[in-house]
Chain A
Amino acid sequence: MSTNDAYYIPHKAVWPIIGTAGLMITFIGFANYLNGNSMGPGIMLFGFLIFVVMLAGWFTLQAGESESGMYNHGVGISYRMGMMWFIFSEVMFFAVFFGTLWYTRNLSVDWLAGIGGGPGKSTALLWPDFESIWPTNGPGNLGGDFEEMGAFGLPFINTVLLLTSGVTCTWAHHGLLAKNRDQLIKGLIATVGLGFLFVVCQAFEYYEAYHDMGLTLGSGIYGSTFFMLTGFHGFHVCVGAIILSVVLFRSWKGHFTPENHFAFEGAAWYWHFVDVVWLGLFVFVYIL
């Protein structure tokens, strides 16, 4: 079929339509659940299962094609470009929530308290007693009293965990390039382990917030931005760790060579991206 100098064009793909159906059913189930329909969670789970089957099937197919040498250099470049632009879209997604944090913290909370020329003058009439402080749950004291999440408990440990996992990931990459299988697998095990450990720590942090500190999603703008930013990040850590687990499995099967290991590279890029987002979070959500 394809020789190595021709760009590989696949034909008759079945997984895309299956994945689309899975995602659509998941969303339909979720929307029904939000509208109070008792069927919702069941539909959602069903859709999600289809989606997982699609991921397994599609990735198995790709891995097999890659192993049989169907992807030439040009295909590899397309995959790398695809991954780069996907990560760029993720950057823009997180930028929305960082922007929200910046805007509320530096502009709109001040305006609510009557600080600033234009909007501040009029909004001050609404809430005469409100003072601009951060963290805040707003003039309505939504969600009741809460404590601020400090930076140097679990969050600091999590920072160390993620940064270390970035190092082990790069160490594994060096192992791959040097054909040192042992180093590759050990490095990946450490990376995946640290990633999941991060998620566990974050679960403890959330538990503490909800049960001991009174800090919830409903704690006004502070709770909203805190949980939205850290929650979406935590979700991305989960996804990244799962991707790396697949890469670990494929490394163990001996799939990657120093010349041909896009899956590893893509996963590593994604992992470093998640790392960098966390650094932003640590500075802007926890420390400042």
Chain B
Amino acid sequence: MSAETAEHDDHHDHGPAKGLLRWIITTNHKDIGTLYLVFALVMFFVGGLMALIIRTELFEPGMQFIEPQFFNSMTTMHALVMIFGAVMPGFVGFANWMIPMMIGAPDMALPRMNNMSFWMLVAGFVLLISTLFMEGGAPAAGWTMYPPLVLQTGNALPFAIFSIHLMGISSIMGSINIISTIFNMRAPAMTLMKMPLFVWTWLITAFLLIAIMPVFAGAVTMLLTDRFFDTSFFDAAGGGDPVLYQHIFWFFGHPEVYVLILPTFGIASTIIPVFARKPLFGYASMVYATAAIAFLSFIVWAHHMFLVGMPLAGELYFMYATMVIAVPTAVKIFNWTATMWKGAMTFETPMLFSIAFVVLFTIGGFTGLMMSLAPVDFQYHDTYFIVAHFHYTLVPAAIFMLMAGGYFWLPKWTGNMYDERLGKLHFWLSAISVNILFFPQHFLGLAGMPRRIPDYAVQFTDWNMISSIGAFIYGFSQLLFVYIVYKTIKGTDCEKATDEVWEDASKHGLEWTIASPAPYHTFLTPPEKIPTEHY
């Protein structure tokens, strides 16, 4: 296969443009994937810096370094940057790189739009980051932007709202592209139920995004008109209701958190079978569980609002519906474990991250289950317990699997093996420090420390100090990742990767049947046979 695709490449004078322009006008899925991944990595450090500012201020009680308003801006911007700038673009980067290679397609279905969706994202972040330097400061009402508080934002408000519009356009265009690619560009032999799970999870994620980004756009548009055009959607004096915003926001927001986690599941389902040297256990149930999670995500939103004064029937319905999500999620955890069961396992860096993901995400899942209980949530709501919960589902899950995906596919992209010793060091530093960082936050929350607050009562000092120490170790050990990636791309004194990269990987996915590094164009003619070990 590899010889054939390389040969095809020669017939087409479609090499990349020269210099910087290559990256601006490219329509190549691999180039755009790289752009997304680099953007995500940069934003990961921007958002990480904000997190370290937060943890520095919280190292001790009392106000040490920053103003409370700026602290609130940091919590708000940290969330927006990490969600929309780091995790989502990171997964879109993997989608761009891997989906065409996994389904045997020559490129994404709509390559020009693919370019535009990346640059729209950059434009959105130009607007968002610029708010840090504006009169009245960056948005500080939390990433959820509840009115009426958010309407007190200074000059930043319209910029933040338009940045969300731009990111929304970007996500919708990206998702349309992914769906069209998956439905229209598969190799003939690859029927839907033979697609790799990463492709399946992205198909469902893209559907979620198209359904929810317009909802978010509508919500923030109403914020804009409430502030500047006299409307009263969220103003009781005019017959509106601020709680309405919360309903709309979380109708977006809950599927949104699954946008962050479903591709995570997809990468785990791709990596674990390769290093367990077994087919994925329960392929069909994985697909159905993913679809079930996506469906449930639309009907559970008000569990974010148990304290808002809903009717009792609402509290009960949203409580039980939320608990149901644990069932398909448990199916997934079971399947990953069963895939490893009696496998001939080896523990390269991607596998280490994946195993840590299965364990630590389970902790995040269980704390989620605890908070789905409305009467219990009355106690935990808006405390550090929820902070601990969603960071367990995002950092050692989404971020860990982004890292794992990086280690897993980097040899295919660059043709060079990363430094396994450094990779393992990065893993152990991350896995230990992330628990020092977030585990104590459970205790803080249960003891009653509220979130989004720059100062706290002295009895919370010890765990906050430990958490901050963990944050600094975690944050700085990520620099190691940058170094490893840089070294692998540069390739001097790196081991060369084989086409298969990992032992017997070509049984698991089409991407391992082509050359390493992957040529600029792959699968200009669709492959006739597809691997059979992944489903």
Chain B, Cβ-Cβ closest to A78: B109
B24 A228 Cβ-Cβ under 8 A: no
Is the C-beta of B66 less than 8 angstroms from some C-beta in chain A? no
Return B17 CB to nearest CB of chain A, in Å: 6
B453 contacts partner chain A, Cβ-Cβ < 8 Å: no
B14 nearest in chain A by CB position:
A11
Q: A112 with B309: in contact, given A9-B107, A27-B162, A31-B159 (CB under 8 Å)?
A: no
Q: CB-nearest residue of chain A relative to B244?
A: A103
- Chain A's interface size range is 35 or more
B311 engages A139 (CB within 8 Å): no
Contact of A142 among B24, B122, B232 (CB under 8 A): B232
Query: What residues of chain A lie closer than 8 Å to B211, measured between beta carbons?
Result: 88-89, 92
Q: Which residues of A contact B524 (CB under 8 A)?
A: 6
Residues of A within 8 A of B177 (CB): 82
CB pair B309 A122 closer than 8 Å: yes
Is B112's beta carbon under 8 Å from chain A? yes
Central interface residue in B162, B224, B237, by most chain A CB within 10 Å: B237
**A104-B239 in contact (CB<8A):** yes
Looking at chain A's contact residues, the main secondary structure is helix
Stretch from A213-221, A243-251, A253-261, A280-288 forming part of the interface with B: A213-221
Nearest-CB residue, chain A, relative to B176: A85
Q: Are A17 and B25 in contact, CB atoms less than 8 angstroms apart? A: yes
- Known contacts A24-B127, A217-B231, A224-B225; is-contact A96 B248 (Cβ 8 Å): yes
On chain A, the residues within 8 Å of B235 by CB distance are 138, 142
Is A153 located at the chain interface by the 8 A CB criterion? no
Q: What per-residue 1/0 map shows which CB atoms of A95-139 lie under 8 Å from chain B?
A: 111011001100111011000111100110011000000001111
Q: Is the CB of A34 within 8 A of B158?
A: yes
Q: Is B241 within 8 A of A224, CB to CB?
A: no
Q: Main SS of the interface on chain B?
A: helix
How far is the CB of B58 from the nearest CB of chain A, in Å? 32
A12 contacts B25, C-beta separation under 8 Å = yes
Residues facing B in A18-34 (CB within 8 A) are 19-21, 23-24, 27-28, 30-31, 34
Closest to A75 in B: B109
A203 near B: Cβ within 8 Å? Answer: no
Docked-complex contact B180 and A81, CB < 8 angstroms: yes
The answer on a CB contact under 8 Å between A221 and B232 is yes
Shortest beta-carbon distance from B525 to chain A in Å: 8
Q: Is B212 an interface residue (CB 8 A)?
A: yes
Query: Which residues on B sit within 8 Å (CB–CB) of A74?
Result: 184-185
CB-based contact A85/B166 at 8 Å: no
B241 to chain A, nearest CB (A): 4
Contacts of A12 in B (CB 8 A): 17, 25-27
CA–CA, A218 and B225, complex, Å: 10
Interface size of B by CB at 8 A reads 75
- A224 with B231: CB separation less than 8 A: yes
Complex Cα distance, B159 from A104, in Å, reads 28
A175 at the interface (CB under 8 A from B): no
- Give the docked Cα–Cα distance between A264 and B86 (Å): 39
Q: Does chain B have a CB within 8 A of A15?
A: yes
Cross-chain contact A16 with B231 (CB below 8 angstroms): no
Contact A89 B172 (CB under 8 A): yes
| Chain B residues whose CB sits within 8 angstroms of the CB of A92 once the complex forms | 210-212, 214-215
**With A85-B175, A97-B218 in contact, is A16–B116 under 8 Å at CB?**
yes
- B236 is contacted by which of A19, A138, A228 (Cβ under 8 Å)? A138
The answer to whether the Cβ of B228 comes within 8 Å of any Cβ in the partner chain is yes
Residue of B nearest to A14 (CB): B25
* CB-defined contacts of A228 to chain B, threshold 8 Å: 222, 225, 231, 233
User: Can you sample 25 A-B contacts with CB below 8 Å?
Assistant: A7-B185, A9-B27, A13-B27, A16-B116, A16-B119, A17-B25, A23-B123, A24-B126, A35-B158, A74-B184, A78-B184, A81-B180, A86-B176, A89-B176, A92-B214, A108-B241, A109-B239, A119-B309, A119-B310, A138-B239, A139-B236, A217-B230, A220-B239, A224-B231, A224-B232
User: 8 nearest interchain CB pairs?
Assistant: A96-B218, A140-B237, A138-B239, A218-B230, A16-B116, A221-B239, A93-B214, A108-B241
Give the interface of B toward A (CB within 8 A): 14, 17, 24-28, 105-107, 109-113, 115-116, 119-120, 122-123, 126-127, 155, 158-159, 162, 165-166, 169, 172, 175-177, 179-181, 183-185, 210-215, 217-219, 222, 224-225, 228-233, 235-241, 243-244, 247-248, 309-312, 521, 524
